[in-house]
Amino acid sequence: MNSARPQWFTRGIEHIWLPYTQMKTAPEPLAVVRTDGSRILLADGRELIDGIASWWTACHGYNHPHIHAAVAEQLARMPHIMFGGLAHEPALTLARRLAALLPTGLDRVFFCDSGSVAVEVAMKMAVQLWLNQGNSQRSRFVAFRGGYHGDTFAAMSVCDPEEGMHGLFAKVLPQQLIVDLPLDALSRQTFDGLLERYAKELAGIIVEPLVQGAGGMLFHPPQVLRHLRAAADRYGLLLIFDEIFTGFGRSGTLFACEAAGVRPDIITLSKALTGGTIGLGATVATNQVFEAFLSDVPDHALMHGPTFMANPLACAAANASLDLFEREPRLGQVAAIEAALVRGLEPARALPHVRDVRVKGAIGVVELDRIDDLRALKRCFVEAGVFVRPFRNIVYLTPAFTISEEELNRLTGAVVSVLEKWTRP
């Protein structure tokens, strides 16, 4: 192992501001020089098996040749062009293909550049739908404890204010209604009563379907989504599914909403949309939502337009990613990963301080009663040859769908062995 840090690292590290990091006390990040498949090659020569696919984005693994070729071809032709007053084939083809894959009726695609912005656009659509009808009262949202929807301002307001990362902003964010998911009779009664009381103030309901990701890797059954759909219809609210995490196979079906047989009014997509290659987001609405913006009044248009929306390189990557879902057995691979995660993580259930072990699709979770030193635990995983990034009291795996059986076994084995030492009295 070469312990010398590369010059680009030593010269640049003093000028960078890292995400989710207390820069005063945090250790330096790992210097990466290359990725391949499910492997991360570090500057010091070490190679790690990636257990989280770069925040769940690299569903086909890193550097897939088909995506690489599509981006290279697009780069030579047209790396970027503004989307105002102009259009291009990669974006229009991608919009058509997404509409064909999503539940019937989700036909209008608005592109942006990230998941958080996709949520911002969805919320803006929901509020403006009412404004365009002359109703300025319906401006609030129902969201759920354990939920996470991004780090931009409106998105922060619908995250869990207590368990999330944005409690510092609680007094300055828009005040939304954050409640428990309607999982049982009592929580359904509370939820239904809340809607009855506040319906005239509400624009919509936003939820991560089946899996609340960064809020704790919390799973809920499909009937919860059916209850939300019925409640939204009862009070005339828009139902927004945030599928930035679950979209494109992560929970076992191409989209989580398929498992419940529920169509939202708006769905947000990002992360695995481009196969983890380039940032791209999409907010997809029904024609009923879209038609609420059609008017002879110019201000009734959706006045939103990120500079790099529908970037041709990103759209080319996304189209190539969809090719791979069509040509290669991705959902079958997810099913195999699910079975392997169940087998591989089950021994952790018997360890001290382990509260739960749960798996859904290509998501494996070990929940502890606490993790006293996250930094030290992360270091233990690196020493075991894997890149796993626990948060709060959660150790999780969200590998690439193309990960080999041997690599996946090493990941689950590392989780169990590291936690066995970690939880030892």
Name the catalytic one among 148, 151, 265, 378.
Answer: 148
Cβ–Cβ under 8 Å, residues 241 and 264: yes
- Tell me the HSE value of 154 on the side-chain side, using a 13 A CA sphere: 18
Count of CB atoms situated within 10 Å of the CB of 336: 16
Name the catalytic one among 20, 200, 233, 372.
Answer: 20
Count of CB atoms situated within 10 Å of the CB of 305: 13
Q: How many Å apart are CA 410 and CA 412, to the nearest integer?
A: 6
Active site annotation includes 233: no
Name the catalytic one among 113, 160, 242, 265.
Answer: 242
Pairing type for strands 47-50 and 354-360 reads unpaired
Count of CB atoms situated within 10 Å of the CB of 157: 22
In the DSSP assignment, the letter for residue 20 is T
Q: How many Å apart are CA 139 and CA 235, to the nearest integer?
A: 14
Give the CA angle between residues 275, 278, 280 to the nearest 5°.
90
Name the catalytic one among 124, 271, 360, 378.
Answer: 271
Helix orientation angle between 222-235 and 185-198, rounded to the nearest 10 degrees = 20
Active site annotation includes 148: yes
Q: How many Å apart are CA 402 and CA 387, to the nearest integer?
A: 16
**What token pair was written down for 217?**
């890797």
Active site annotation includes 192: no
Question: Helix, strand or coil for residue 299?
Answer: helix
Active site annotation includes 360: no
Count of CB atoms situated within 10 Å of the CB of 243: 31
Q: How many Å apart are CA 231 and CA 192, to the nearest integer?
A: 7
Amino acid found at 361: G
As annotated, the active-site residues are: 20, 148, 242, 271
